[in-house]
Amino acid sequence: MGYTENELAKDLENQEYKFGFVTNIESDKAPKGLNEGIIRFISEKKNEPEWLLEFRLKAFETWKEMTEPEWAHVHYEKPDFQDITYYSAPKQTKKYESWDDVDPELKETMKKLGISMEEQQRLTGVAVDFVMDSVSVATSFKAKLKELGIVFCSFSDAVQEYPDLVKKYMGSVVPMTDNFYAALNSAVFTDGSFCYIPKGVRCPMELSTYFRINEGGTGQFERTLVVADEGSYVSYLEGCTAPQRDENQLHAAVVELIALDHAEIKYSTVQNWYPGDKDGKGGVFNFVTKRGVCEKQAKISWTQVETGSAVTWKYPSCILKGDYSIGEFYSVAVTNNYQQADTGTKMVHLGKNTKSTIISKGISAGKSQNSYRGLVQIHKNASNARNFSQCDSLLMTDECGAHTFPYIECKNSSAKIEHEATTSKIGEDQIFYCLQRGISEEKAISLIVNGYCKEVLNQLPMEFAVEAQKLLAISLEGSVG
């Protein structure tokens, strides 16, 4: 003990002031708006090397020339990019003075999720002493990882401590010019996570941002880079099932995965950003670029359970570069009220004997719109490539929509591609059947929906799957009509 979070915060505060900035910026929060000065400010604030500043500035130049994409099946008022604060130090994140100040609705939801009291308090930033406990837990994990040579730290730390690795791999899968939001992220990202698994090492635990508590409150523009060296394995969990009431309008994250020869990365996400209220007001715009590259006999498996955000635009993809590499995508996307989701994957088969599997389960409720958009691309050298896609949609009401946009581009005649799709409405008969057996409507919907999503939920690590199930039930509470 002896070093409390308050003291840590104080230290950080002093540190910030030490830098002494140009012009009139006195706080550790950048003024609203985006220009070259802001980017230089962020980079300086983070004490970044010259090459990274150049990376950012180049991305910014590219971004200025780009226009926001409109091809997705979503409608929203475009964010005003000059009305966003691009840098705000972590201590600015909202904290509650005491447990009594926490929004009761938020407490109720967390209770339903089965999150322990301590965890609830930690998530809302209350109870310093518990945070201390948690820090020590995190530290003991870190020691274990260090022993194996595994690097797991914030992106900012990685830039300082492992610049060569970051420089080598950053932007190698998602180039800064990739798309509008990736370019924006490349210019202004403030933090994120970095993970490196050395050759032949099998990471003994699920790596999760959960353990990196004191680096919580990552900004709107986070970047994740996971590098699995030859023959290594890692399972990475992103996000937290707790209701992060983030009021930020825009989240534009970039995730890059690199699986070198014979390596395997399992990347699981449970996302429940604020979806807006029942009338469709507010909520997060979640525009994320996620992509992984597989070298020889490598495997990348994406699993996502998406229940949050007002607008989601996200396509975790695999570039199957090496021969015999494998890409998988398992997804459950739930939309309720006025939520809109356009999500799916891209499987790009470059190497021979590459294999991909896509299992997508969309659930639409309320007046929401849920779209699957997927691309299976077989390049001319990808002989014997195989793909299996299954896209199912479940409708909860008469007012919602489900859409499927599968694209297939095949340039090799030896490829084998299968696509299956179904659309069904949740049956009043199914619910009545459950009720007649004494099961409440809430539990009935949860049972039916979880049954429908089983193939995807089975891919999640145990505890995560349990929370995801509860989350699905909460997202769809009272939604049958």
Partner 1 sequence: MIKIENLHASIEGKEILKGLNLTVNAGEVHAIMGPNGAGKSTLASVLAGREEYEITAGSVDFDGNDLLEMSTEDRAREGLFLAFQYPVEIPGVSNVNFLKTAVNEIREYKGLEPISAKDFMQKVREKSALVELDSKLASRAVNEGFSGGEKKRNEIFQMAMLEPKLAILDETDSGLDIDALRIVANGVNKLKSPENACIVITHYQRLLDYIIPDFVHVLYNGRIVKSGPKELALELEEKGYDWIKEEVDSVNA
Q: Which residues sit at the interface with partner 1, rule CB under 8 A?
A: 427, 429-430, 432-441, 443, 447-448, 450-455
SS (H, E, C) the chain: CCCCHHHHHHHHHHHHHHHCCCCCCCCCECCECCCHHHHHHHHHHCCCCHHHHHHHHHHHHHHHHCCCCCCCCCCCCCCCHHHCECCECHHHCCCCCCHHHCCHHHHHHHHHCCCCHHHHHHHCCCCHHHHHHHHHHHHHHHHHHHHCCCEEEEHHHHHHHCHHHHHHHCCCCCCCCCCHHHHHHHHHCCEEEEEEECCCCECCCCEEHHHCHHHCCCCCCEEEEEEECCCCEEEEEECCCCCCCCCCCEECCEEEEEECCCCEEEEEEEECCCCCCCCCCCCCEEEEEEEEEECCCCEEEEEEEECCCCEEEECCEEEECCCCCEEEEEEEEEECCCCEEEEEEEEEECCCCCEEEEEEEEEECCCCEEEEEEEEEECCCCCCCEEEEEEEEEECCCCCEEEEEEEEEECCCCCEEEEEEEEEECCHHHHHHHHHCCCCHHHHHHHHHHHHCHHHHCCCCHHHHHHHHHHHHHHCCCCCC
Distance of closest approach, residue 441 Cβ to partner 1, in angstroms: 8
Backbone torsion region of residue 86, taken as left when φ is above 0, otherwise alpha when ψ lies between -120 and 50, otherwise beta: alpha
* Identity of the residue, 183 or 434, whose beta carbon is nearer to partner 1 in the bound complex: 434
CB of 435 to partner 1, least distance (A): 4
Instruction: Tell the smallest beta-carbon distance from residue 431 to partner 1 (Å).
Output: 9
Nearer to partner 1, 2 or 438 (CB): 438
**CA atoms of 167 and 223, how far apart (whole Å):** 14
Smaller CB distance to partner 1: residue 118 or 477? 477
Q: For partner 1, give the closer residue by CB, 384 or 430.
A: 430
Count the residues in the chain: 481
In the complex with partner 1, the residue whose CB is nearer, 409 or 455, is 455
Which residue number, 95 or 443, has a Cβ lying nearer to partner 1?
443
Least separation in angstroms between CB 451 and partner 1:
3
> CB-wise, 38 or 445, nearer to partner 1?
445
Closer residue to partner 1 (CB): 115 or 457? 457
Beta pairing partners, 378: 349, 410
- In angstroms, give the least distance from the CB of 449 to partner 1: 9
Backbone phi, then psi, for 199, in 5-degree steps?
-50, 130
- The least distance separating partner 1 from the CB of residue 430, rounded to whole angstroms, comes to 5
Q: Which is nearer to partner 1, 209 or 459 (CB)?
A: 459
Whose Cβ is closer to partner 1: residue 66's or residue 439's?
439
The distance of closest approach from Cβ of residue 450 to partner 1 in the complex, given in angstroms and rounded to an integer, is 7
The minimum distance between CB 368 and partner 1, in angstroms, equals: 22
Q: How far is the CB of 120 from partner 1 (least distance, A)?
A: 24
Q: What is the dihedral of CA 142, 147, 149, 152, to 10 degrees?
A: 0
Distance CA 381, CA 387 (A): 15
In whole angstroms, the minimum distance from the beta carbon of 457 to partner 1 comes to 9
CA 252 to chain centre: 10
236 or 330: CB nearest partner 1: 330
Residue closer to partner 1 (CB basis): 400 or 448: 448
* Min dist. Cβ of residue 437 to partner 1 (A): 4
Partners of 375 in the beta sheet? 346, 407
Smallest distance, Å, CB 221 to partner 1?
A: 37
